Amino acid sequence: MSGRRIFSRPARLAAVAPYLWMALFFLVPFGFVLKISLSQTAIAQPPYLPVFDLTQGWTAIKATLAALSLDNFRLLISDNLYVVSYLRSLVVAMVSTSILLVIGYPIAYGMARLPRKWQSIAMMLVIVPFWTSFLIRIYAWINILQHDGLLNKILLALHLVSAPLVWLSTDSAMYLGIVYSYLPFMILPLYATLAKMDPALLEAAGDLGASPRRAFWLVTFPLSLPGVGAGILLCFIPIVGEFVIPDLLAGSNSLMIGQTLWLEFFTNKDWPVASAAAVVLLVLLVAPMLFYDRLQRRQLEGGR
């Protein structure tokens, strides 16, 4: 019998503890979100009507089921605020992911073409900001973008503008912040596929008479598509639910769904509506997340 099979049984046992942990702290909580999204708002602590009381037996369960309501979801559809927030989140995520791809691809491509020795240094340089606090990096931009900040000073000194421009609390600032924060997430998967590519393929294309530009579009780009997909998903999904960046950098006249949910929860203390908003957000993201999950699994488990 091969050692591989003997090894796999205790290895499977290793799954028990993390399995239980994730089920308890990741899966079960969604049940509570779903439950509370279906219950009525109440002025109480916690601010929702308790809808589940197993001590009362079957009658309680029946009463509970009867008390469930879709009111919160109806509110989400009928209230313009939410519809606008969802749409804005999707638009912001799409626009910033496109910008990220356009900026990130040339950087990843440049990295992949560096001499081997330099590649690991370049990769380190891209990873370091990912480790550095994300809040700090946004704060660094507030320093630069504020009314009498560095950017306006430089623009004034160069006589490009005659009066300081307003940068903070604008959509451009928000896009800048998002692109800045997520750039490593776009570069790394792109770099990973580009670096794995066999240079002989490009040589073959060149030998067959393709110009470097043509070889890039015919060979390199199509082969890098898995990396493009991973980068897009890795950025798009979290950006849709982003809270901190729009809250600190964007104006307050239109909110992303993460902000709306936060406001509903912390300011209005309407937990059922906030939960319903979370459920809808999750539903919106299920398709891209399943896709991402498949991609991850193929990459980590298939490629060994």
Listed ranges 65-73, 78-86, 154-162, 293-301: which one lies at the site for other proteins (CB under 8 A): 293-301
Tell me the C-alpha to C-alpha distance, in Å, between residue 132 and each of 89, 128, 137, 138, 205: 25, 6, 8, 11, 41
Residue closest to 274 by CA, chosen among 39, 68, 103, 43: 39
Q: Is 301 in the site for other proteins (CB under 8 A)?
A: yes
**Backbone φ, ψ for residue 113 (5° rounding):** -95, 0
Is 223 a binding residue for other proteins by CB under 8 A? The answer is: no
Smallest separation, CB 19 to other proteins (Å): 6
Q: How far is the CB of 223 from other proteins (least distance, A)?
A: 14
Q: Is 55 in the site for other proteins (CB under 8 A)?
A: no
Decide if residue 222 touches other proteins (CB under 8 A). Answer: no
Residue 198's CB: how many other CB atoms inside 10 A? 10
Which of these segments, 55-63, 64-72, 73-81, 233-241, binds other proteins (CB under 8 A)? 233-241
Kindly tell me the number of DSSP H helices and DSSP E strands found in the chain: 17, 0
Residue 68 as a binder of other proteins (CB under 8 A): the answer is no
Q: Of the ranges 56-64, 71-79, 80-88, 231-239, which one interacts with other proteins (CB under 8 A)? A: 231-239
- Which residues in the 3-22 window bind other proteins by CB under 8 A? 3-15, 17-19, 21-22
CA distance 61 to 197: 58
Structure tokens at 188: 């790394």
Residues 6 or more apart in contact with residue 34 via CB below 8 angstroms: 275, 279
Nearest-approach distance from CB 30 to other proteins, in angstroms: 5
Window 150-189: residues binding other proteins (CB under 8 A): 150, 153, 180, 183-184, 187
Binding window for other proteins (CB under 8 A); candidates: 53-61, 64-72, 79-87, 281-289: 281-289
Q: Which of residues 20-39 bind other proteins (CB under 8 A)?
A: 21-23, 25-30, 32-33, 36
Q: What radius of gyration do the chain's Cα atoms show?
A: 25
Identify residues 243-272 at the interface with other proteins (CB under 8 A). Answer: 243-244, 247-248, 258, 261-262, 265-266, 271
* C-alpha pair distances (Å), 23 with each of 3, 17, 19, 30, 78: 31, 10, 6, 10, 34
Work out which of 148, 157, 158, 287 binds other proteins, going by CB under 8 A: 148
State yes or no: residue 297 binds other proteins (CB under 8 A).
yes
End-to-end CA distance of the chain: 22
Secondary structure letter of residue 68 according to DSSP: -
- 141 or 175, CB closer to other proteins? 141
Q: Of residues 238, 251, 254, 269, which one binds other proteins by CB under 8 A?
A: 238
- Of 72, 92, 99, 141, the one binding other proteins (CB under 8 A) is 141
- Distance (Å, whole) CA 249 – CA 169: 5
> If binding is defined by CB under 8 A, does position 208 make contact with other proteins?
no
CA 230 – CA 193 distance, rounded (Å): 10
Write out the two tokens for 113. 């073409």
Residue 91 touches other proteins, criterion: CB under 8 A: no
Of the pair 160, 200, the CB lying nearest other proteins is at 200
